[in-house]
Amino acid sequence: MSSGRKVAILQSNYIPWKGYFDFIASVDEFILFDDMQYTRRDWRNRNQIKTPQGVQWITVPVLVKGKYYQKIKETEIDGDHWSELHWKSLFQNYRRSRYFDEVASWLQPLYREWNGSLLSDLNRYFIEAICGYLGITTKITNSWDYPPFEGENRTERLAWLCAQAGGNEYVSGPAAKNYIEENVFVDKGIKLSWADYSGYPVYDQLWGDFVHGVSIVDLIFNCGNKSGSYMKYVC
């Protein structure tokens, strides 16, 4: 095992916020944990943008009726009409932003060219494209790229996946402090670190009071190739 190899494991989100991309950039391998149960009214299929009327959701419609225990990777997108509506919302609310034309030149085709049917694939499609724009070179894999874990304990599975990826340091999001059993990592000789989302600087943002937690598209439309200056692990 190479020294200091950091791994993070997290469910995919739709066009996630800047902290998600900093999380990716801070590690050597980022594992999408999409063989977990799909959760409704969560970040899996929606995110927020700023508008003159305040922060608003844009949501990818998915098929959930009768599918109470489906996994994220099994969740199907409901039709293709949403992509045009999403781009229209982005155009209407960010066309006045400084870097709109530059970002639209590669972001709009992503909406036009997408022809898949699974939410997990869509999320990875956008995550990888945005990583490319930001210059993030972290290896991105799926949890099912590794052999299946025999057991029920979630923390043990995370530590096992980290070890499978050759990691000796696991970086976790702060929300996981509610359930992570730190001793599981200690017993496996894996260092446990916590991501810190505090202290982000503000940038020139449209439409009223500054909001940190909106989709990354807000940052890149407003700051373009200078977006890394307002992040922690992106140069």
Per-residue pLDDT of the chain (235 residues; tens, 9 = 90+): 345 899 999 999 999 999 999 999 999 999 999 999 999 999 999 999 999 999 999 999 999 999 999 999 999 999 999 999 999 999 999 999 999 999 999 999 999 999 999 999 999 999 999 999 999 999 999 999 999 999 889 999 999 999 999 999 999 999 999 999 999 999 999 999 999 999 999 999 999 999 999 999 999 999 999 999 999 999 7
In sequence order, which residues have a C-beta less than 8 Å from that of residue 153 and are 6 or more positions away?
Answer: 181, 184
Give strand pairing partners of 10: 32
Helix 216-223, helix 81-94: angle, nearest 10: 50
Structure token digits, residue 93 = 């609310």
DSSP string, 58-96: EE--B--TT-TT-BGGGPBB--SHHHHHHHHHHHHHHTT
Q: Give dist(CA 101, CA 151) in Å, integer.
A: 49
Per-domain residue ranges for the chain? 6-145+205-230
| pTM assigned to the model | 0.96
> How many C-beta neighbours within 10 Å does residue 54 have?
11
> How many C-beta neighbours within 10 Å does residue 189 have?
10
Q: Give dist(CA 185, CA 161) in Å, integer.
A: 11
